[in-house]
Structure 1
Amino acid sequence: MLPAIPFNKPYFSGNETRYIEQAVRSGKISGDGMFTQRVHAFFEHQLGFRKALLTTSCTDALEMAALLLNIKPGDEVIMPAFTFVSTANAFVLRGAKVVFADSTALNPNLDAAALEGLVTPRTRVIVPVHYAGIACDMAAVQAVAQRHGLAVVEDAAHAIDSCYRGQPLGSLGTLAAFSFHETKNIISGEGGLLVVNDADLNARAEVIREKGTTRSAFFRGEVDKYGWVDVGSSFLPSDIIAAFLWAQIENLTDIQRQRRAIWQRYYAALEPLRARGIGLPALPNYATNNGHLFYLVCRSLTERTALIIHLRQRDILAVFHYLPLHKSAYYAAQHDGRALPWADHYADCLVRLPLFYELSETAQDRVIAAVLGFYRPH
């Protein structure tokens, strides 16, 4: 019997446990230890983010963004309906009304051409989600934001090491949030990062991250004592998590080389399915591919269900992605009733294939053969 092929398998570079031991031996395993500082320096100096703050999750980074932008009840936030619930929850927790945008026919990213019609006097923020690490049309997003004085928060959970017209994703918005969940390209089990690209928000971001106190400034010797000066929470992770992440960052180039190679093998082998009406990831000329995930877009929900069952019968785990938030049990009644056909289409028809660092060519060939076999005329 052939071994099962999982959808995901966390990759360990080799130094994770050694660095964790170093963090433990240092006697400083709470937040903002030596490994956290290394992570911050990498994102600020290597990727050019103005300020980077490690968080316990991408969800926490998004919640910090909502706090930093002073989102209040009655404010409106525009985001795609085809996204993870954390994108919306961060702003709903502050009392905001979420205004859902549809996806594009090209890919699941939000339709930037529709943004202008969604802006009202109550709109405060646009949240583009770079699905599969492929950039949204950020020039169009930013043009709308600038015309109406809106903030842009990039949900870059999928988007490490990906660019828009040569600029790293996460560096374009007012704020950005990344994920290091175990399903992402580089991981720490759970973990995230808030990027602050507006220098006027730097000091307050530190305060919010440290329970609303000036504790970070105190430890740098900038104040003689720290006190409670704002709202906040405990958003910073243990240095043990940062130690794990640092081992991953050190291997980012190798991890990305391998993931992109796997992605390209899928694309080359499955590209003939386009002639059968099956969608493959579309990469606009302004975007790069970071090898985060590979998906197919089936022709119907029935077909997708049958494909997933077909693969599972061959011990291959493929999964679908988001249920559209505008139809969720929690928020459907608050949606304005607009049809969002492309969000519905991706929710019904998109299927993700196994993609992880240690996916061998032999195993990948099994996946490819099984997919092609499903679509082979009988």
Structure 2
Amino acid sequence: MPASPIQLSDTWFDAREGERISAALQGRVAGNGPFCRKVEDRLAQLLGGGRVLLTTSCTHAMELALLALGIGAGQEVVCPSFTFVSTANAILRVGARPVFADIEDQTLGLDPADVERRLGPRTAALLPVHYAGIAPDMDRLLALARGHGLKVVEDAAHGLGASYRGRPLGTLGEAGCFSFHETKNVTCGEGGALAVRDPALADRAEVIREKGTNRSAFLRGEVDKYTWVAEGSSYVLSDVLAAMLDAQLDKLEEIQARRARVAGRYLAELSSWAAARGARLSRPPADRQGNDHLFYVLLPDPSTRDRCLARLRAQGVMAAFHYVPLHSSPHGRRLGPAVELPVTDRVAASLLRLPLHPRLTEEDVDRVVGALKQALA
């Protein structure tokens, strides 16, 4: 009987999630309820302070951040092309235009030198992505932003629990945006969060999140009735999903430890193998603390990657490539003139992701390592 496939990603749920959901069902299940407020406080503590607002997705968190910062029509936001579509969609949804920049070879995040070349009179913000929970050169990106009067919104969808020179990802710019999609280290199925430190920005975001009303202030007893006070939308997370997230945060330390164990095994078993084949393994720079959200292998060329991927899958190892670069996608090409992003194109064509999640056993890791070595024997 063939062995079960080893999935690229998987969730770790137990009785705790069910217990929290049952508790949430005993009260109000709409957004901004007791579990939402509890989780927001827990996340704020984890991030070292400031305000956290739960949202229905990281996509909505980015939209909310850009709206609260006043980014809109006629403006441009520089972001990577090597990212999920949500990064660019959030920019488009507020009426601005994404400008795609290349990535660094080491971190697979925005390259500050290429970002600087793409700044113009309409540039209003930078939107760096912390790919695989590893920050790009944020010192240089933040200096660029300060020098040109730009805002910085961090796409930290991969970033919870990771840091840059001791500072949590998502707290370096004006706003940080997180994902709790089922593929993330902690999950509630679908969900996100916006983290901000400026109280005035947090107040604006809170109103926009609640359909342009001061309902949150009303629920806190700060006003005797709530009303429409600004343009807004509906980005509030259900308390049922927040309850699930509360249980996941209880397990965050164990989840991270399990993921670190798997990543450590990959590094120990594959480092010499990779060096002998001109491949490179996922590894954060010394001044950055990752969170083992992804483990990737950069293979020497696209044909080697594709051959390796097919052979792994034939052995039941559900490895995967990652993003189709946005600048070369059908919609990306409609946004403006073609751009050359050589590092992005090379990385997208040669990157292979290995299974990494908290349910992997030692035997699963053995199978993955053996299958990878056999694939390129």
The TM-score with structure 2 as length reference comes to 0.97
1:345 matched to 2:351? The reply is no
CA distance in 1 between counterparts of 2:244 and 2:101 reads 36
Separation in structure 2 between the aligned mates of residue 101 and residue 49 of structure 1, nearest angstrom? 31
Q: Deviations over 1:167-202 (max 9, x none)?
A: 111111100100011100001001100111222211
Provide structure 1 residue ranges, at least 5 long, that are not aligned to the other structure.
none
C-alpha separation in 2, matches of 1:274 and 1:194: 40
Query: Residue 195 of structure 1 aligns to a residue in which SS?
Result: strand
C-alpha separation in 1, matches of 2:178 and 2:15:
23
Match for 1:54: what amino acid? L
Say which SS state the counterpart of residue 115 (structure 1) adopts: helix
Q: Distance in 2 between matches of 1:14 and 1:308?
A: 36
Aligned equivalents of 1:313, 1:45: Cα separation in 2? 45
1:34 aligned to 2:20?
no
Counterpart of 1:298 in structure 2 is 299
1:272-317 deviation digits (Å, cap 9, x = unpaired): 2123111211311221120101011122222211111101111111
Kept after mapping to 2: 8 A contact 1:13/1:247: no
For 1:51-200, what aligned pairs fall within 5 Å after superposition?
A: 51-200=51-200
Per the alignment, in what secondary structure is the counterpart of residue 103 of structure 2?
coil
Question: C-alpha displacement at 1:84, in angstroms?
Answer: 0.5
Letter of the aligned partner of 2:192 in structure 1?
G
What CA distance in whole angstroms lies between the structure 2 residues aligned with 1:109 and 1:49?
A: 25
The SS at the match of 2:60 is helix
Does structure 2 retain, via aligned residues, the 8 Å contact 1:50–1:196?
A: yes
Q: How far apart, CA to CA, are the structure 2 residues paired with 1:264 and 1:31?
A: 39
CA distance in 1, matches of 2:282, 2:25: 43
Deviation, 1:13, is: 4.1
Hey, what's the Cα distance between the residues in 1 that align with 2:271 and 2:43? Answer: 35
Q: Given residue 263 of structure 2, which amino acid in structure 1 is its aligned partner?
A: W
Q: CA deviation at 1:107?
A: 3.1
Query: Which residue pairs with 1:280 in the alignment?
Result: 281
Distance 1:92 1:21 in 2: 38
Instruction: Report if the CA contact (8 A) 1:270-1:368 is conserved.
Output: yes
Q: Is the 8 A contact 1:109 1:128 kept in 2?
A: yes
Any conservation in 1 of the 2:44–2:195 contact (CA below 8 Å)? no
CA distance in 1, matches of 2:4, 2:178: 33
Q: Is the 8 A contact 2:107 2:135 kept in 1?
A: no
SS state of the match for residue 203, structure 1?
Answer: helix
- Asked if structure 1 preserves the Cα contact closer than 8 Å seen for 2:8 and 2:356, the reply is yes
Distance in 1, matches of 2:74 and 2:40, equals 34
**Map of 1:12 onto structure 2:** 13
Give 3-state SS (helix, strand or coil) of 1:284's partner: coil
> What is the distance in 2 between the residues matched to 1:225 and 1:74?
36
CA RMSD of superposed structures (Å): 1.2
Task: Give TM-score scaled by structure 1 length.
Answer: 0.97
Counterpart Cα distance in 2 of 1:108 and 1:47: 23
Aligned-pair distance for 1:21? 0.4
The question of whether the paired residues in 1 share the 8 Å contact of 2:206 and 2:216 is answered with: yes
2:321 matched to 1:320? yes
| Offset at residue 352 of structure 1 (A) | 0.6
Indicate the residue corresponding to 1:239 in structure 2.
239
CA deviation digits over 1:201-251, x for unaligned, max 9?
Answer: 111111001001010011111112111111111101110000000000011
Distance 1:287 1:157 in 2: 17
* 2: CA distance, partners of 1:312 / 1:116: 40
Aligned to 1:354: 355
DSSP-derived class of the 2:289 partner: coil
Given that residues 13 and 251 in structure 1 are in contact (C-alpha distance below 8 angstroms), is that contact kept between their aligned partners in structure 2?
no
Report whether the alignment pairs 1:205 with 2:196: no
C-alpha distance in structure 1 between counterparts of 2:316 and 2:181, whole Å:
24
Distance 1:364 1:181 in 2: 24
Q: Which residue is equivalent to 1:264?
A: 264
Q: Distance in 2 between matches of 1:46 and 1:129?
A: 20
In the alignment, structure 2 segments of 5+ residues that lack a partner are none
Query: Secondary structure at the residue paired with 1:330?
Result: helix
Q: What residue number does 1:227 align with?
A: 227
CA distance in 2, matches of 1:312, 1:298: 17
Provide the rounded CA distance (Å) in 2 between the counterparts of 1:120 and 1:8.
40
Provide the secondary structure at the position in 1 that maps to 2:153: strand
Q: Distance in 1 between matches of 2:271 and 2:264?
A: 10
Equivalent residues of 1:102, 1:340 under 8 A apart: yes
Aligned partner of residue 243 in structure 1, secondary structure: helix
Corresponding letter in the other structure for 1:264: G
Q: How many corresponding residue pairs?
A: 375
